[in-house]
Amino acid sequence: MKKYYTIESNPFINNNCRIRLGAIPDSIDRRAYLLDEWQYLNDEEEFIPFERLGSDLPDIYTYNIPLISKRLKETLDDAEVSNTFYKPIYLYEVANRSKIEEYYLMLAEALDCVDWDKSEHTEDSFSGLKKITGPFAINTSIVGDFRIFKIQGVLNRFWIIDQELKDMFESLGIKGAKILPLEEYYGI
């Protein structure tokens, strides 16, 4: 049986890997990255100011917009992941506008694959969106060959990755990320 993991930002793993983004341009439609709707994005580059709060930069940033570093994107390209959309994002330091870091807004295909009867979650009474709050299970027959994906209709900001991608990211020395088996997940 294939093993899956959550991956999301975690600046507390390495406090030297923290950033704070400035305003996200209005040209980046919030529906796109909040609801994983690719049709609302183009692939034109964007510039976003940021403040470096540590000495290193994270490879993954999932707080207000889903970003991955150039080296993480290259790893996904090497793994021949094809169910993702990338929009080039250039982060520039507020204190030093000539220092630019290459990132990508990444959207992964969203799948309706959670076995809600075997998963800890809450449901928003207004929107109907669910939030995974603890260990959860997925129906792997729905996942198919996808190696990275999002969960459809949830408020959580994480991706699901397979064992091979987890191993690749760990051998890369991924920075600023928390990777947990689904059965050990705890929602924030």
Count of the separate structural domains present in the chain: 1
Residue ranges of the chain with pLDDT lower than 50? Answer: none
pLDDT of residue 15: 64
Q: Show the domain range for 141.
A: 4-184
HEC readout, 111-145: ECCECHHHCCEEECCCCCCEEECCCCCECHHHHCC
pLDDT of residue 188: 64
Alpha helices in the chain (DSSP H): 30-35, 70-78, 140-143, 163-172
| Residue with tokens 């959860």, as numbered in its chain | 136
First-to-final CA distance of the chain: 28
pLDDT of residue 148: 97
pLDDT of residue 43: 86
pLDDT of residue 87: 94
| Token pair recorded at residue 41 | 């994005």
pLDDT of residue 153: 85
Phi (first) and psi of residue 6, to 5 degrees: -90, 150
Rg of the chain on CA atoms, in Å: 16
- Interatomic CA distance for residues 47 and 37, integer angstroms: 21
Closest CA to 8 of 87, 64, 86, 80: 64
pLDDT of residue 24: 93
